[in-house]
Amino acid sequence: MVDAQAQVRPGGRSAKVRAAVHHAVAQLLAEEPAEALTIPAVAARAGVHPTTVYRRWGSPAQLLGDVATSRFSGDVVVPDTGTLTGDLERWLGDVATDLADPDTLALMRAAIGSGPDGGCACIGDRHEQLSAIIERERSRGGRAPEMENAVDFLLGPLYYRAIFSAQPASSDWARELVATFLAAPATASAGEQPAGGLRPSTVELQGPASG
């Protein structure tokens, strides 16, 4: 019989250590540049030994990837309004609101700067959510856009504006972005596009003009 004391219990010490370390990362990113984030600094803030952090995460880049994955998984609910337009407007508006949070942006910039895995951790859940919206529209029998075009025309401009621009990516701006996207030829299915598909121009990457 397996000793019950030896079993890993959900919500046990391991989960508490992870929560403390994640909280420490968020605090440090709010106070210092991402370059100052080190394993010893995180361990000291979390109240654990550096060896514990090294053993579980190995490097600041891997730690940032884990924090980003946890932070961006399930934080935005995929809506079901009954229409593609309604779903995209509400969802992208929620994503824009989330990206307007300074702590969220600090984590995202740090994770992206840590390497490709960090960037994937920030955007992976958003890809899954957008894919779910598109597949739902297909199941309704609607004219669903291609996933690659939706990423290029919706997530691309939104994340560019939030991360690299001084202009905020508001929910109103996100709704305008959806309207521009759905009215463009890029929403055509693969069979209706030129070979190689459509790609956004420089102007389109900037999104709709700000009012």
- Tens of pLDDT, residue by residue, the chain (211 residues): 333 333 444 457 889 999 999 999 999 998 988 888 999 999 999 999 999 999 999 999 899 989 988 888 766 889 999 999 999 999 999 999 988 888 888 888 888 888 887 778 888 889 999 999 999 999 999 999 999 999 999 999 999 998 888 787 888 999 999 999 999 865 654 444 444 444 444 334 445 555 4
Separation of alpha carbons 90 and 175, rounded Å: 8
* Residue 205, pLDDT score: 44
Separation of alpha carbons 22 and 16, rounded Å: 10
* Residue 182, pLDDT score: 95
**Residue 160: how many other CB atoms lie within 10 Å:** 14
Which tokens is 137 given? 């529209």
Separation of alpha carbons 124 and 73, rounded Å: 8
Which tokens is 45 given? 């803030």
CA-closest candidate to residue 29, choices 116, 110, 112, 120:
110
Residues in Cβ contact with 14 at an 8 Å cutoff, skipping those fewer than 6 apart? 8
* Residue 134, pLDDT score: 97
CATH 1.10.10.60 fits 4-58, yes or no: yes
CATH of domain 72-205: 1.10.357.10
Separation of alpha carbons 195 and 12, rounded Å: 54
pTM comes to 0.74
DSSP class of 38:
-
Residues in Cβ contact with 1 at an 8 Å cutoff, skipping those fewer than 6 apart? none
Domain chopping of the chain, boundaries: 4-58, 72-205
